[in-house]
Amino acid sequence: MSESVSRRDFLAASTAMLALGHAPSTFPGDGPPAILRARAASTVAVSSFNGLAAIARAVELADSGADSLDAVVEGIKLQELDPEDESAGYGGLPNEEGVVQLDASCIHGPTGRAGAVAALEGIRTPSEVAKLVLKYTNHTLLVGQGAKRFALSYGFKEEDLLTERSRRKWLTWRANHDAHDDWTEDGMLASGSPGAVYLSVLNRAGDIASATSASGPAWKAPGRAGTSPVAGAVQYVDNDVGAAGSSGSGEPGMMECGGFITVEHMRRGVRPTDAALETLKRIVAKAPARFLMRGGLPRFSLTLYAVNKRGEFGAASLYPGRYAAHDGRRAAERDSAYLYDKAL
């Protein structure tokens, strides 16, 4: 058999394997990147543990024909409008001055576009505003008063976002906090809040979108914008490969572009859970000393979520944790993989 025929046969076989979702399981650096183009058999979704209702809603909409972006934003909105969810939207815990400042972003895989808002005040559903930035501007990120004016121009109503429950918690903190508080301790995330709600959806057509919404750490410095509005940092989508995002302490993950790196691991054939674990190892290895305890254990919490083009999904945490996922049949909470046994 001639060399040219052998090469042609090899390339044809390789293309068939990729179409069937059998991309080689290599680690980063072990050969050329793989593009995972196989379509999912059913709609799947993955989110932070507080997004159980959100993923059910998003999958329902995606299966009824909604665009993947519309599905994730409508899912995220359920949490933003829930006064019991302290991590996002109405009910989110305020900054040190008692003001609720919200961040959100969304990414649409088919078009490769992103929209985001940061330090937005007075608007319950910042994810909707982020979607409008994506759809109707050539910008990616609007902040502060400019973001609010943009939202109001599209008919959003300004409201007081500080619920009575959040106000009481803020007053308690203000009466007892230490003058030397410097916002470096992730313990300020109250009541076990993940600090954000993240959601990504892969529909039956193989299109992916993701969204993140957050009020950030309780009692944060006014004007603080975390990873939630930074595309590529907290979340990233490549419609040929998959999506990844995170919740928890934003700053260490942002410095290493955790969402982007996790998708790049999956591009090289690493499965979602393993990809998330590899990224967490990198984040801890690169974390500044102020983010670590004696012995090198991280003093912060962080969970990464990932889904690939084939519909495989997973999550990994620094310490034992939970996440929510929809496998095409039902939405359920699941245990995440983790690096360290020690609980925070």
DSSP string, 1-63: --HHHHHHHHHHHHHHHHHTT------TTSSS-----PPPSS-EEEEEGGGHHHHHHHHHHHH
- Please report the pLDDT score of residue 38 as a whole number: 62
pLDDT in tens, the chain (344 residues): 443 444 444 444 444 433 333 333 333 444 455 666 565 679 999 999 999 999 999 999 999 999 999 999 999 999 999 999 999 999 999 999 999 999 999 999 999 999 999 999 999 999 999 999 999 999 999 999 999 999 999 999 999 999 999 999 999 988 987 665 555 444 444 444 567 999 999 999 999 999 999 999 889 999 998 888 998 887 999 999 999 999 988 788 788 899 999 999 999 999 999 999 999 999 999 998 888 988 889 988 999 999 999 999 999 999 999 999 999 999 999 999 999 997 54
Q: Which residue, among 305, 302, 280, 111, has the nearest Cα to 200 in the 3D structure? A: 305
Contact between residue 149 and residue 121 where contact means Cβ atoms under 8 Å apart:
no
List Cα–Cα distances, 152 to 77, 146, 147, 156, in angstroms: 18, 10, 9, 5
- Please report the pLDDT score of residue 194 as a whole number: 62
Whole-number Å distance between alpha carbons of 23 and 38: 10
265-281 residues labelled b (16+ CB within 10 A) or e (exposed): bbbbbbbbbbbbbbbbe
- Please report the pLDDT score of residue 231 as a whole number: 85
Tokens of 315: 């999550």
> What is the value of pTM for the model shown?
0.85
* Residue 284 one-letter amino acid: V
Q: Given its phi and psi angles, is residue 206 left (phi above 0), alpha (psi -120 to 50 degrees) or beta? A: left
- Please report the pLDDT score of residue 6 as a whole number: 44
Whole-number Å distance between alpha carbons of 77 and 55: 11
- Please report the pLDDT score of residue 263 as a whole number: 97
- Please report the pLDDT score of residue 24 as a whole number: 37
- Please report the pLDDT score of residue 295 as a whole number: 84
List Cα–Cα distances, 129 to 2, 161, 188, 194, 225, in angstroms: 59, 16, 27, 22, 16
- Please report the pLDDT score of residue 33 as a whole number: 58
Residue with tokens 């980063």: 28
Tokens of 285: 């290895």
Burial zone of 289 (CB within 10 Å; 0-12 exposed, 13-18 middle, 19+ buried)? exposed
Contact between residue 24 and residue 309 where contact means Cβ atoms under 8 Å apart:
no
Largest Cα separation within the chain, whole Å, is 82
- Please report the pLDDT score of residue 18 as a whole number: 38
- Please report the pLDDT score of residue 254 as a whole number: 81
Q: Which residue, among 83, 79, 127, has the nearest Cα to 102 in the 3D structure? A: 127
Whole-number Å distance between alpha carbons of 195 and 186: 10
Contact between residue 115 and residue 69 where contact means Cβ atoms under 8 Å apart:
no
Class of domain 30-337: alpha beta
Q: Which residue, among 334, 338, 340, 282, has the nearest Cα to 313 in the 3D structure? A: 334
Residue with tokens 């829930």: 82
Alpha helix (H) residue ranges in the chain: 3-19, 52-63, 68-80, 126-136, 144-153, 164-176, 250-255, 258-267, 272-286
- Please report the pLDDT score of residue 178 as a whole number: 66
